[in-house]
Amino acid sequence: MRILIIEDQESLSKLLKKGFEKEGYAADYVLDGEAGQRRIEIHHEDYDVIVLDLMLPKKSGFEVCKNIRSFGITTPVIVLTAKDSEEDKVSLLDSGADDYIVKPFSFRELLARVRALTRRPETSLPTELSIGDLVLKPAIKAAFVGNKEIKLTLTEFRLLEYLMRNPNQVLEREAITTNIWDFDFDSFSNIVDVYINRLRKKIDAGRKNGLLKTVRGVGYKISTN
């Protein structure tokens, strides 16, 4: 799961990014409304949730939210705001925001609101993923081959989850990089290949035909066949 943070206080953006990544999410941030709207317009399909500050330079969070909704972009938006009057809250929701949280706030509360949004029917994801005897339980960050739990690092888990949410689809290295790491990561690095090899050793050991397939010159897929 990937989150876009649009917040002009870079120190706060970095803290939120670090907090989300610690919880197993991929996260990016931009520092003004214009850059935020541009990122959403081009890459909205890459994001599961947008955390949007209301008071932004160049373009307000209110404008950003209203504009992206007018373009038909339905990615869930949580607005960060210092305004807590009933009129302000109504205006935010009417602009297309799905939720809001009043500053100052605790990261635990923001995290809970993100989880709540991704559980809603229109954006809900399966609570368990399975391919053959490989089972992934995202809610508890656990993976099993047969009845045996396999130990994965957080990055390995996120990579495996991304593959399993797109079974039988060839995923290019660049797509994997931007979904598991971030937009600033060096796409020419061989880090994807390194992590794929680590996963192979853990989920394909002892199999005659492994689940993880290399598509030479393109990327990787996890196969149900």
- Mean pLDDT computed over every residue of the chain: 85
Task: Report residue 194 CA to chain centroid gap.
Answer: 21
**Averaged pLDDT, 149-163:** 87
pLDDT tens, residue by residue, 74-128: 888 999 988 777 777 777 777 888 888 888 889 999 998 888 887 654 444 556 8
Domains and CATH numbers, the chain: 2-118 (3.40.50.2300), 129-222 (1.10.10.10)
DSSP annotation of 105 reads: -
For residue 193, what pLDDT is reported? 86
Of 18-27, 40-49, 139-148, 174-183, minimum mean pLDDT range: 174-183
Q: What is the mean pLDDT of residues 132-145?
A: 87
Token pair recorded at residue 181: 């790491």
Rounded CA-CA distance 106/102 in Å is: 10
Phi and psi at 61, nearest 5°, equal: -60, -35
pTM tops 0.75 = no
Can you state the angle between helices 107-119 and 10-22, rounded to 10 degrees? 60
In this predicted structure, the answer to whether residue 19 has a pLDDT above a threshold of 60 is yes
DSSP bridge partners of 129: 136
Let me know: does 202 contact 163? Beta carbons within 8 Å. Answer: no
Instruction: Tell me if 73 sits within 8 A of 96, measured CB to CB.
Output: no
